[in-house]
């Protein structure tokens, strides 16, 4: 028998096997693709990405985000490493037959609304193999929760930025009644800077100095959450100058 005739089935078999292997290069399974929360919050969408190869695999990711002003979207591989929010494309490195966590993080800063992020994953060894996932997050305004025992004539919690006597930045809080108050600051990435005040608040106006202690906090815009025991929470923003 002619050897060339024997080679044809072998070549076809190799092509079929190669095609099957390529089609199974990786899988990605998101826990969810839609979420709802509040402004000045962090939403994390987790997916398990699995390498179906017995060798290292490189997966190109491309992010296409459509979000309200000031929002940020970042991509993370694992729970430790995240690309900066302004990076829109890079490569995931998967170990042989390994799996990892792929995260899409929405930081809904300042503005309510709905944002989407489409993530396209492409096998670098075969660019015809790809997965496209679209994640959607809705951030709603934070409303002050009214307790059933509140006096409806007292009004809601109100807050204003003020310059305090002797220098420094502060907040003027107007409370409907006596309640415990906790104030926490967050940076522009939605990360907690720490608790800056906690104590008993009283009915009427109360000026509170923003005290970051000995922490080295750079100048910038910070998001301040004022949480009360009886009247819910309210958010504001302050400019800190160093």
Domains in the chain, start-ordered, CATH in brackets?
25-140 (2.60.40.10), 158-240 (2.60.40.3080)
Q: What is the pTM of this model?
A: 0.55
Q: Which residues neighbour 100 within 8 Å (Cβ) at sequence distance 6 or greater?
A: 48, 49, 77, 78, 92, 94
Task: Write the DSSP assignment of 146-165 as a string of letters.
Answer: PPTTS-TTS---EEEEEEPT
Instruction: State the residue for tokens 């042989």.
Output: 96
From first to last of its 242 residues, what are the pLDDT tens digits of the chain?
A: 555 554 555 444 444 444 444 456 899 999 989 988 777 778 889 999 999 988 999 999 999 999 998 898 999 998 778 898 889 999 999 999 999 999 999 988 878 899 999 999 999 988 888 899 999 999 887 543 434 443 333 345 667 665 444 445 677 888 888 888 888 888 766 677 888 888 888 888 888 777 666 666 776 677 788 888 888 777 777 766 55
């Amino acid at each position: 028998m002619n050897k060339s005739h024997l080679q044809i089935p072998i070549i076809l078999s190799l092509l079929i096997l190669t095609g099957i292997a390529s089609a199974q290069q990786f899988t990605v399974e998101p826990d969810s693709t839609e979420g709802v929360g509040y402004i000045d919050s962090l939403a994390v969408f987790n997916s398990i990405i699995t390498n179906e190869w017995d060798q290292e695999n490189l997966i190109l990711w491309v992010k296409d985000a459509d979000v309200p002003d000031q929002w940020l979207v970042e991509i993370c591989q694992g729970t430790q490493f995240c690309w900066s929010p302004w990076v829109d494309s890079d490569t995931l490195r998967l170990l042989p037959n390994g799996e990892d966590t792929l995260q899409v993080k929405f930081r809904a800063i300042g503005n309510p609304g709905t944002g989407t992020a489409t993530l396209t994953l492409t096998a670098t060894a075969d660019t015809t193999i790809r997965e496209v996932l679209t994640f959607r997050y809705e951030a709603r305004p934070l409303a002050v929760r009214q307790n059933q025992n509140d006096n409806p004539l007292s009004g809601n919690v109100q807050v204003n930025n003020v310059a305090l006597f002797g220098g420094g930045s502060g907040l003027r809080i107007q409370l409907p009644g006596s309640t415990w108050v906790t104030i926490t600051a967050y940076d522009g990435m939605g990360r907690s800077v720490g608790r800056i005040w906690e104590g008993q608040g009283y009915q009427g106006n109360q000026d509170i100095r923003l005290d970051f202690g000995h922490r080295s906090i750079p100048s910038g815009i910070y998001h301040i959450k004022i949480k009360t025991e009886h009247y819910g929470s309210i958010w504001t923003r302050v400019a800190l100058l160093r």
